[in-house]
Amino acid sequence: MMLHIGLDDTDSPEGGCTTYVAAVLVEYLLVLGVEFKGYPTLLRLNPNTPWKTRGNASVCLRLNIEESLYSDIRNVVKELVDEYGEFSCDNTNPGIVFLKGEVPDDVKAYSETVVRSLVEKKLAMNLIEKHKMDYIEYKTGRGIIGALAAIGGTLEGDLTYELLTYRAPENWGTPRRVDAASIIVMDEALSDSTFNNLDEKGKPLITPRGPDPVLYGVRGETPEAVYDAMQMIKPLEPVERWMICRSNQGTNLHYSDPIKVSEIEPYNPAVVKGKVDSVPETIEGGHVFFRLKDETGAVDCAAFEPTGSFRAIVRKLIPGDDVTIYSGVSIHENELTLNIEKLALHETVPKIKYVKPKCPECGGSTESMGKEKGLRCKKCGYRGTVLVEEAIEQERGIVPGIYLPDRGAQRHLTKPYERYGREKAIELML
């Protein structure tokens, strides 16, 4: 019998990790004699969900079992969630879903919806009831939403892989110890098959900063690539266990088709095409804002300080530029705001500077005499008709293309530059 086990929401900002629970579970299931079908699924959900813990990931294990083992398997899953769930956190509400047989098409469609929007638990429960799935919920059971989404996330288009290594429990919450030089060597050797190992300054990005059990995670195009990376990385503390997952990370799969400004909803990913409608302004804290408009309205767009050098690109935009903004929708000062995750610049407009001529009589500077009244020389008062401002087109310093925040500010789902052209299912670049 084919069995899919979905897990979500076992962690908290203070600790825990759903993928760690899954990694431990794999070992228990191997003892029971199950046959795994492919790598575990690590599905990143809507990154804008206001009640997410950290990376907002859910996990699914897919296996073939003797039906007589189901009760034992269910008990093992529950025991591990009981042991490792961060139940003291109000925001932690674990969910476990069990599906026997093939994944129905409507569950696959549901998974895509959860990655791209906010979803009520009722939608998940309707599908669970329809397909007679078994489930276990804790507290509010909100984790049921992601657990079912992980089951539906069969990743039949573009996908990537991540190898996760886990720390010994006695080291949880302490600074991670990995040889940074070995990460640099690995990145150089596997640059064509891994991604987002280092930031723009060469600082490692593969070690998380939180109190979770992960020591480091390497993302790549194939399971072989991330396994080779592990062989090259030198940990300076014990690795308790490791696991390779299939994932939607680095795929842009949280973006749907473009919508209008009037259709923007808070806490969803949003792709909006329009014209720049204001000169970008840098506010306190280094955040850069501008207005985007289409035929239905206008909305603020923000490149926040952590996006780094990306803000220099945003500052070069001028009203009239044709762009598509890929974003997460937040509320900033009571206004819907597009937090820019990717900028596609389609067409730029000329940037014109008007220069006043010198006086032909005395060479002095000229000035305006008022709207539509022409120019005159400040020195001698000359007002000849030859005094006309010259329109000079300036260099923009920006060309059509795709622009992304610095790597350290990119979300898990954001497709980095190096993945364009590597997709398992090619998507339109702009």
Total of domains in the chain: 4
3-state secondary structure of 386: coil
Regarding whether 314 and 288 lie in a shared domain, the answer is yes
Work out the mean pLDDT of the chain and round it to a whole number: 95
Q: Helix, strand, coil % (nearest 5) of the chain? A: 25, 30, 45
Structure pTM?
A: 0.92
What pLDDT digit, counting tens, does each position of 387-417 carry? 999 999 999 999 999 999 999 999 999 999 9
CB 288 within 8 A of CB 303: yes
3-state secondary structure of 274: strand
Crossing angle between the packed helical segments 143-152 and 105-116, to the nearest 10 degrees: 120
Regarding whether 145 and 24 lie in a shared domain, the answer is yes
Phi, psi of 19, rounded to the nearest 5 degrees:
-65, -30
pLDDT at site 10: 95
Identity of the residue numbered 11: D
What pLDDT digit, counting tens, does each position of 320-369 carry? 999 999 999 999 889 999 999 999 999 999 999 999 999 999 999 999 88
Regarding whether 360 and 403 lie in a shared domain, the answer is no
Q: Which helix (H) or strand (E) holds 290?
A: strand 288-294
Last residue of a domain, one of 247, 271, 300: 247
- Tell the residue number behind the tokens 């005395």, with chain if given: 362
What pLDDT digit, counting tens, does each position of 140-155 carry? 999 999 999 999 999 9
Q: For the ranges 112-121, 231-240, 357-366, which has the lowest average pLDDT?
A: 357-366
pLDDT at site 428: 44
Last residue of a domain, one of 127, 152, 177: 152
Give 429's contacts (C-beta < 8 A, 6+ positions apart).
344, 402, 420
Name the DSSP class of 258: -
Asked whether residue 184 is domain-assigned, the answer is yes
Q: Which domain holds residue 114?
A: 2-152
Regarding whether 21 and 135 lie in a shared domain, the answer is yes
3-state secondary structure of 116: helix
Q: Considering only CA atoms, which of 56, 138, 50, 42 is closest in space to residue 94?
A: 138
Q: Considering only CA atoms, which of 7, 4, 5 is closest in space to residue 84?
A: 7
